[in-house]
Structure 1
């Protein structure tokens, strides 16, 4: 059974998609069979792997309401063990279409059940909101990984997300557990980065990953070439960080707050 990890934070620009793409790629390099599911209508995870939802091709929106066609939307990538279900702008309409449907929180879960047997890990990248697409991803997953940017307002965002996590776990998905918090855009020269790290360690002592992802220009450049950072510059500090994070994810067991 695949480990299904949702990567979520309702705040934008925290390294969520960067983490989803690069964690998936690094797990694939470890010869784990990985499926990346792009749940964001902006489709940045898709383009970050050089995959684009062209007219006529199946994507997440195409199969969200037809889970029996899920395997047809899976696209191979340049990495042998990594596949993706790409997103498209049409996914914006899914929020409206789901609103009046019975069991609206579980459409993505049903889709994942139809494809999970073929993978060791499924990584779900969420939009920067706590709307129905994110709730669907939280209901489809068994583990939550939170990327946290090292900035002043970071802890406010994580508090709101943890409230949502608790509600989803209590009412919709009792199997969901917290895998951990990974600090992104970390600058050891910046005092604020250290303060955020210490605050997370104080409030969530068992859930802070040892790996921190530094600010790194290679991580910013790689998506424009349609590559994860390990394919773009494997010697960069960004590639090293995500390889270490992948190793931690494999070893770590999720728990409850």
Structure 2
């Protein structure tokens, strides 16, 4: 810590960390060589999927990258965390999927950053899977909405699609619309349970609907350094996925859990916290990979 010395205190350290988050001009993240569309998926609930989506998106947006979050979960938790209106009747991803409105008509600017947009989910989305069954090209409705022209209109560098905790038609739409999958995995017992099914589904979508799809990023969440189990899970996941895993691990944090209740990401709720800094570090890794590798 650069501030360590006679005047160093934990509060001073947290203030220094908060300054780095709140004054991002000192850390401009590189733009990707091409626009990146990332589906954040894991059918297992409670792994930090929505939390990771909104905090990574906010971190990228705060540091100069235009970012769009598509809330594809009928619970609307991503919309809540980004303080975007999602009452019934609000222009939302539901109307986008059924072709009633354009992406730009549904996208709202979050109060977290002028670079951060969100297409909210309303309760209407709960019945969308049933409606989609009878539609032409039902698996590609979101892909059609996220066409280059629509995304150029918003001028975004990154698109994050937050999926429901299931492997239904909404998640399939998300996998068809993206070229990359980001899988959050919690550092807890049963962490890998169900992951095989998700990977098989991704392979099926890749084989039949979206040959460009690839699992590009694994993010370890809810890490508790006090337990041996967390280290065991981390080692197992890294051993299996290698460089696909980000080196940054997201710690278990009360602040991260509290933030959505205040309509905020942890970066605005408590910018000096370990959770905020970890998501900022993870976003930096993602941005660096995007600039170096040209993934899109």
Same fold per superposition (TM over 0.5): yes
Structure 2 residue aligned with 1:6: 39
Structure 2 residue aligned with 1:116: 151
Alpha-carbon distance in 2 for matches of 1:150, 1:43: 25
Structure 2 residue aligned with 1:191: 228
Superposed CA deviations along residues 7-52 of structure 1, whole A, max 9, x for unmatched, are 0000000000000000000010111010100000000000111112
The aligned length equals: 256
Alpha-carbon distance in 2 for matches of 1:202, 1:2: 29
Unmatched tracts of structure 1, length 5 or more:
none
CA shift in 2, pair 1:55/1:166, >3 Å: closer
Q: Deviation above 6 Å: which 4+ runs of structure 1? A: none
Please give the residue correspondences for 1:153-164 in structure 2 after superposition, counting only pairs within 5 Å.
153-164=190-201
Structure 1 residue aligned with 2:131: 97
Unmatched tracts of structure 2, length 5 or more:
1-33
Are positions 1:53 and 2:86 aligned together?
yes
Shift of 1:55: 4.1
Structure 2 residue aligned with 1:83: 117
Shift of 1:203: 1.2
- Greater Rg, structure 1 or structure 2? 2
* 1:154 counterpart SS class: coil
What is the Cα-based RMSD across aligned positions, in Å?
Answer: 1.7
Return the TM-score normalized by structure 1.
Answer: 0.95
Alpha-carbon distance in 2 for matches of 1:99, 1:21: 29
Contact 1:40–1:126 (Cα < 8 Å) also in 2: yes
Alpha-carbon distance in 1 for matches of 2:150, 2:277: 30
Moved more, 64-73 or 77-86: 64-73
Shift of 1:57: 2.3
Equivalent residue in structure 1 for 2:208, among 148, 171, 174: 171
Superposed CA deviations along residues 169-204 of structure 1, whole A, max 9, x for unmatched, are 111111111112111100011111111111111111
Structure 2 residue aligned with 1:22: 55
Are positions 1:137 and 2:174 aligned together?
yes
* 1:182 counterpart SS class: strand
Superposed CA deviations along residues 154-181 of structure 1, whole A, max 9, x for unmatched, are 1122221111111111111111111121
Return the TM-score normalized by structure 2.
Answer: 0.83
Structure 2 residue aligned with 1:32: 65
